[in-house]
Structure 1
Amino acid sequence: MASATRYRSRYIAGQLLAWWPAILLGLMVLMAILAPLIAPLDPNRQDLLGRLKLPGYEGRGGTYWLGTDELGRDVLSRMIYGSRVSITVAVLSVLLSGIVGVTVGMLAGYLRGWPETILMRLVDIFLSIPAILLAIITVAVLGPSFFNVILVLALTRWPRYARVAYGQTMSIARRPFVTLARSMGCSVPRALLLHILPNIISPILVVATLEFGLMVLFEAGLSFLGLGVQPPTASWGAMLSTGRNYVTSAWWIATFPGLALFLLVLSANLIGDRVSDIIGKGR
């Protein structure tokens, strides 16, 4: 009986250890969704008399569990609301870049000929430009805003999806069922949606899970440089940018958002690795 209980405990612990990245990411997503309900204070409320206070400070309005920033705002509340920005930007930019990249890659791999040459040369041009440099230039031209950040990140990352979709589509397009569908007059959109896409979705999902963490980092980097979401909207990158000026006197301003950013990106990357392993074993 004792050995069975011990075995069950080890099994449960092993499952939790294996799935902790998904659990952590799920908790962060839930935190972002429920931010208005769980944030202890207004993230934008200023209290200059309570600026740069240590974690646990009790002041006007309640307890500041993670301290206050240079304007007396609650760091914990701003972190909770900042998660909404990071996760929303990452999800939408991954979806948009994935749709554009997969469409371009499938068209190039299925049509071949001059469409393939034009589309893949366009992919090569975008890949030859450093992504972060292209993002900075584009944001500087369009202006920093929430939607512009999403557009810029999608613009810089779609070629990766295109390369994967292109290679997978060329392989699938030679299969007998695709050749038969084409000979029976199947239109290009129908062939791509019904015959090509379902057979290449697995590697696309792997790319998307890995790109999610990268999008979070890009968004934080742009906000750190002042080219992302603009104040007073809370953003982890902007909090890091502010906190660097107070590292010696108020370490908590940059430490806690940096730790949250690290955990979010780490969990997303580990989930991507696990998805890749599962798909690889299933083949």
Structure 2
Amino acid sequence: MSAVASPRPHPRQGLGLRRWWPLAIVGLVVLAAIFAPWLAPYDPNTQNLIGRLKPPGTVSRAFHYWLGSDELGRDVLSRIIYGSRVSLVVAFASVIISGTVGTTLGMIAAYRRGWTETVVMRVVDVFLSIPAVLLAIITVAVLGPSLVNVILVLALTRWPRYARIAYSQTLSVATMPYVRLAALMGAGATRVLFRHVLPNIIGAVSVVATLEFGLMVLFEAGLSFLGLGVQPPTASWGSMLSTGRNYVATAWWVATLPGLWLFVLVLAVNLTGDAVRDRLDPRFR
């Protein structure tokens, strides 16, 4: 009696829930950041020294601290909601800037070849040889801590990854017959790259951008934790972790809750990136 082999499940079976719940969490955080003035119970910078370091659920004067209060009596929930604005603005802006610069330079290097390729890719190698966190810390320390400087520094340190991906993808696409035909018919390099090459490599670049988004959130939190990000009294998850570490033994919620929100957001973004990769991977079609 021969055994009947069970059918092999399709690689994308069972990905529905894993694909959608992380995206829902990211969407909720984005909505919370956009509608923070209406969702936050109080102004994130309003102090109530009588109600400092109150545990979650405590009522002090006119404040109802759903997630507790910090060392200055500020509402932790309100500061977490407003802190999401900083993280998302930095992540979105840095990903857009670094992705645009890196993808453009990578495509130009692969299409032009010659000395252009040599110069661009050697600069990429130099940037990739320096630890990104160390480079970001040094640059922010020189330029000064601010929201704009954090965005520029993160974009400066992360564009080489996009350049590498765009370079390798463009090398294969540039040899396609339709690309050569477009060049022979008189299309300029700009038209060929952005009309014929970019649409064919945008999938791989999008996967990198999705994964980089979570990394940018972590980098921003790390710089703010070190005092090199946005400055007080602006609410930031990293700065909340930095001040809350001094009260872990007596007021665990000050550092634990922002850290939990940070963990959940980065996990959701990374899982969303995996889902995007599975969606665009031709082996799963």
Q: Give the CA RMSD over aligned residues.
A: 1.3
Structure 2 CA distance for aligned equivalents of residues 47 and 264 of structure 1 = 29
The DSSP-based 3-state class of the residue aligned with 1:63 is strand
Amino acid at match of 1:69: D
Amino acid at match of 1:161: Y
Which range moved further: 178-187 or 249-258? 178-187
Amino acid at match of 2:64: T
The DSSP-based 3-state class of the residue aligned with 1:255 is helix
Aligned ranges 1:1-283 → 2 under 5 Å: 15-16=16-17, 18-281=19-282
Which range moved further: 167-176 or 57-66? 57-66
Structure 1 CA distance for aligned equivalents of residues 205 and 103 of structure 2 = 8
C-alpha contact (below 8 Å) 1:41/1:61 kept by paired residues: no
C-alpha contact (below 8 Å) 2:221/2:237 kept by paired residues: yes
TM normalised by structure 1 equals: 0.93
Structure 2 CA distance for aligned equivalents of residues 152 and 160 of structure 1 = 15
Structure 1 segments of 4+ aligned residues over 3 angstroms from their partners = 13-18
C-alpha contact (below 8 Å) 2:109/2:121 kept by paired residues: yes
Amino acid at match of 2:220: E
Give the direction of change, closer, same or farther, for the CA distance of 1:29–1:140 in structure 2 (3 Å limit). Answer: same
Structure 2: runs of 5+ lacking an equivalent? 1-13
CA deviation after TM superposition for structure 1 residue 61, in Å:
2.7
Structure 1: runs of 5+ lacking an equivalent? 1-12
Between Structure 1 and Structure 2, how many residues are aligned?
271
Structure 2 CA distance for aligned equivalents of residues 208 and 15 of structure 1 = 21
Higher helix share: 1
Write out per-residue CA displacement over residues 189-243 of structure 1, whole angstroms, 9 at most, x where no aligned residue.
1111101100000000000000000000000000000000100000000000001
CA deviation after TM superposition for structure 1 residue 17, in Å:
5.2
CA deviation after TM superposition for structure 1 residue 266, in Å:
0.1
The DSSP-based 3-state class of the residue aligned with 1:257 is helix
Structure 1 CA distance for aligned equivalents of residues 113 and 15 of structure 2 = 48
Give the direction of change, closer, same or farther, for the CA distance of 1:22–1:157 in structure 2 (3 Å limit). Answer: same
Write out per-residue CA displacement over residues 129-168 of structure 1, whole angstroms, 9 at most, x where no aligned residue.
0000000010001100001000000000000000000000
Structure 1 CA distance for aligned equivalents of residues 43 and 268 of structure 2 = 28
TM normalised by structure 2 equals: 0.93
Amino acid at match of 1:151: L
Write out per-residue CA displacement over residues 2-58 of structure 1, whole angstroms, 9 at most, x where no aligned residue.
xxxxxxxxxxx9854541101111111100100000100110011111111111111
